[in-house]
Structure 1
Amino acid sequence: MEDFIKLVANVGFPIAVAGYLLIRVETKIDKLTESIYNLSIVIKASENK
């Protein structure tokens, strides 16, 4: 949290918010990628039956 406060002081609030949002979105994209991969495995398994 201290690093975040220093970041805001040095580069400004808009850049700090953008960086925070990019980090949050990255984790969501990773989860979506994993879900899509799992879904493709399930679809292939159901086609083989």
Structure 2
Amino acid sequence: MDAYMSLISDVGFPVIVTLYLLHRIEAKLDGVIESIQRLSEQLAADWRAE
């Protein structure tokens, strides 16, 4: 049982930090994806206007 407690205390913090960072990166990636989609739509509209 002591081995499990040691493992949780050693690994728990890095796991929490990793999950937090992945959550933040996911939100930023959603913004990048949205920007790329708007850019392609804008380029298509500009190309049709010429």
Instruction: Pick the structure with more helix per residue.
Output: 2
Write the distance in 1 (CA, Å) between the matches of 2:12 and 2:41: 45
How is 1:30-41 mapped onto 2 (pairs within 5 angstroms)? 30-41=30-41
Structure 1 letter corresponding to 2:31: K
Give the TM-score normalised by the residue count of structure 1: 0.75
Structure 2 stretches of 5 or more lacking a match? 1-8
Report sequence identity in percent: 45
Q: Which has the larger radius of gyration?
A: 2
The count of residues paired between Structure 1 and Structure 2 equals 40
What RMSD over aligned residues (CA atoms) do the two structures have, in Å? 1.3
Structure 1 stretches of 5 or more lacking a match? 1-8
How is 1:10-49 mapped onto 2 (pairs within 5 angstroms)? 12-49=12-49
Question: Runs of at least 4 residues of structure 1 off by over 3 A?
Answer: none
